[in-house]
Amino acid sequence: MTYKRRVIVLFTFLMGIALLGACSGGGTSEASDDPNVVAEGLYQRACIGCHGGNLQGASAPGLLNTGLTRQEFIDATYLGVGSMPGGLVSEEVAELITDWIFKIEAEQ
């Protein structure tokens, strides 16, 4: 197994653990069932380092008002785009994060 493949497998495993932790631990069961709370936690674990805490971008572009459709945003998140590699999150996680970001956009 190549180094890149090992890193992807390890990261996917860790994201699975993070998703389980976000869904099952801490706080009330109501909060942990809220997809927005889960998505924000996943964003903080997988995306915040490059896209920033306020979604405005850091070393990578901002994620608000991109002009992408929901499916294009999911595909970019899951498959990668530009210098962002694919496979950083599962497709399910990409959908959760996308819906959370689109909800934030709609509230602005």
Walk along the chain (108 residues) and give the pLDDT tens digit of each residue: 666 666 455 555 555 555 444 444 444 445 568 999 999 999 999 999 999 999 999 999 999 999 999 999 999 999 999 999 999 999 999 999 999 999 999 999
Residues contacting residue 40 through CB under 8 Å, at least 6 positions apart = 100
Give pLDDT, residue 50: 95
The pTM of the full predicted model, rounded to 2 decimals, is: 0.69
How is residue 105 written in tokens? 């956009």
What is residue 84's three-state secondary structure?
strand
End-to-end CA distance of the chain: 45
Structural domains in the chain?
3-107 (1.10.760.10)
- Alpha-carbon gap, residue 6 to 55, rounded angstroms: 29
Give pLDDT, residue 29: 47
Q: Which of 57, 56, 59, 48 is nearest to 88 (CA)?
A: 48
